[in-house]
Amino acid sequence: MESLKLEALTPEIETAVKSYSEDVELAIVATLEKTADQILEYIKENAPRSSFNHEHLGDSFIKESYGSGVNKTIVIYSKSKGHIVHLIELGFKHRSGKMIPARPFMRPAYDEFSPKMLEEIKKIIERGGGNA
C-alpha cells in the first residue's frame, strides 16, 4: 500500500468529501422528484370524482419545482380548484346545516410516501449516494 505524505492527505480528503456530497445531493434530489411524482399520481387517482362534471378535481393537480440542489422545493397543488380542496379534504358544514364528511385524498398520499422517502434518504446518506 502506498503511503501519502501529510501534505497530500488534505486534498485527497477534500476530493473524497466533495465527491460524496455531490453524489448524495443528486440521489436525494432524484428521490424527492420520484416521491413527488408518486404523491401526484396518488392524488390524481384518489381525488373524489363527480359524475356531473367532466373537469375532475384530481386532474387539476400539478407539480412545480423551485430552486435546485439542496434548496429544491416541490409544491403540489390544484391549479384551478384550490378554493374547494380543503372542503373536500377536511369536510365542512353546509349552509343548510348538513355535515359533509371529509373525503381525504391528499393527506393519505403524504402519509404513505413521505416516510418511505425519509428512509430512502437515510440510506442514501449512509451509502454515499449509491443505490439506495
Question: Is 99 contained in some domain?
Answer: yes
Q: Are 66 and 75 in contact (CB under 8 A)?
A: yes
Question: Is 1 contained in some domain?
Answer: no
Identity at 107, one-letter amino acid code: R
Question: Is 76 contained in some domain?
Answer: yes
Question: Is 87 contained in some domain?
Answer: yes
Question: Is 2 contained in some domain?
Answer: no
CA distances from 106 to 34, 42, 47, 103, 118 (A): 17, 8, 8, 9, 18
Domain span at residue 21 reads 16-126
Handedness of CA 75, 81, 87, 90 (dihedral sign): negative
Q: Identify the residue with better confidence: 129 or 32.
A: 32
Identity at 68, one-letter amino acid code: S
Question: Is 93 contained in some domain?
Answer: yes
**3-state DSSP of the chain:** CCCCCHHHHHHHHHHHHHHHHHHHHHHHHHHHHHHHHHHHHHHHHHCCCCCCCCCCCHHHEEEEEECCHHHCEEEEEECCCHHHHHHHHHCEECCCCCEECCCCCCHHHHHHHHHHHHHHHHHHHHHCCCCC
76-110 pLDDT, tens digit per residue, is 999 999 999 999 999 999 999 999 999 999 999 99
Indicate the number of domains in the chain: 1
Question: Is 45 contained in some domain?
Answer: yes
Is the model's pTM score more than 0.85?
no
42-70 pLDDT, tens digit per residue, is 999 999 887 776 788 899 999 999 999 88
Question: Is 110 contained in some domain?
Answer: yes
